[in-house]
Structure 1
Amino acid sequence: MSSYKSFAVIGAGALGSTIVAAFAAQNLPVVVLARPGSKSTDKLPAGAKLATVDTSDAAAVAAVFKEHTVDVVLSTVTGHAIGAQKSLIEAAKAANIKLFVPSEYAVPTEGLNEGIWAEKNQIAEQLKSAGIPCLRIYVRNGLFIEYIPWLFLNAETKKIHIVGKGEAPLSTTALPDVAGFVVHVLTTLPSAELENKIFRIEGERTKANDLGALFKTAVEYVTEIPGEMGDIKTIVATELDSGLGSTGWSVVTQSEGTGDVAASSANKLWPGHHWKTIKEVHGL
């Protein structure tokens, strides 16, 4: 049984708000920290509390943690704000936080020293240096199931655009499944099974080459993804095609893990749960 009773979520975007809703649905104490003027918290569920604070002010954030007797901090900040977690670590240290769940929720990052995901590994190392127990969760293929069309489906041609060969395995997981898993493990597992652990979950395993059939459209192989944010999409798609799209991938060994480090190895921690498929999420 978990010893964690109170939770704080930083970042109320697509994932953060879904996690908050999952906590609130179980009547668990949860406070959302947001910067002044943030509109992402306009529709917080009943029961969730809001603390407006400059999240770069470690002392102010620590005061919020103490006021709400927070046990676990969950960061869901977006990619461009990963470095901002440094002040959150300082605040967590000052407030004697029991567990910190950093903003991972993407490709496996342990051992990464370069590239767009390396900063996440650095945050985990900083938590270790600060002596704060950390739980890292890998859940998706660079995008949640809901966002697969954003990366792969061209809005104009209606074709699936693939960078590379499209044969690398991709771990895909729906937002509600991610949130449900996070809340489930934090509220059912003892702290010894959560502290300084890495969980790898996977709703459905697929390949980019399979998406054409799923979405009933043609596949086109490209070297660059055109259109808005095409440069970012191309970088993500390229890394996914290298193997990083699987939550079981190791950048150290450049291979798929097995056993406790396999892509879906943590699914067993939520026994009996039905993981949503790409077809279910998109009504295909």
Structure 2
Amino acid sequence: MALVVAADLRFDLEVAGRPAVHAQLRGDANRLLLEVDDAGAFAGARDATAVRALAESLAAQGVVVRVESGGRHLVSLGDVRAPWWQRRATGSRRIRVGSVRGAFTAARSRTRGTQAVLPDAALVPPTTLWPLTPTLRRPVRRPVTTTHDPARGGSPRLVLAKENVWAGERLPSYRLRERTTIGSAPDCDICLPGLEPQHAVIEHDHRDEYVVTALAGSTRVHGMRVEQQLLRTGSRLEVGEHRLVFTREEYADHGRPHGGRVGGELGRQLPQPPRDVI
């Protein structure tokens, strides 16, 4: 589907040691007209790469930009197809030359050594040069042999669930502390509208478990109203009208013996050593 745009833009290009170039971009739908005083201002050697990239981006959106100077058609960029002999001068099938002057400008852009005026990769911040090892190392996945994580980790968190989620939308996630309060008061760790000021609290106990305790209002786990309940990965916690899902990595979630589902959800699980209770 072609991109639909409307444009009416005037701008000036100023380069040290050269006269200013005036330009106007106008048009609607997916056809735009760019009128410039001097198209050669964009004919630096490094500009050629940027122009080709721009032409490919316009083509992907179904947009065509016709470039004119003094009423003469120079080139068209974007959703066009150039003949093979023009590609020798432009280096792109998405740049169609409209006149001899346009062909001269395109050919000069590949050999001219003037300063570039269009943005290119040179404006991107450089990558880390040293040390190389941290940038090339693959992420290390820790082997799962027990759910008794000595660091008492596993990134325990609550994720706010929604019925309607937009494409690409990221749901809010709340990292759990040793004691995490939930309510509508501003000083709560998880502050949600419509709740009691201090609605519920989640505490990390001496067994390395996370337990929710109702303080006021309605607190449910998997739809059942509770006063206190231990949370496991996948536990659905409902406070008021809000629904949150508890999650913790399997290597630290004691509800998954040996860090997996050997034999299925109801099958025999591999034994693991007893955990140290602090």
More RCO (CA 8 Å, sep 6+)? 1
| Structure with the higher strand share, 1 or 2 | 2
TM > 0.5 between the two? no
TM-score bracket, normalised by the shorter chain, equals: under 0.3
- Larger helix proportion, structure 1 or 2? 1
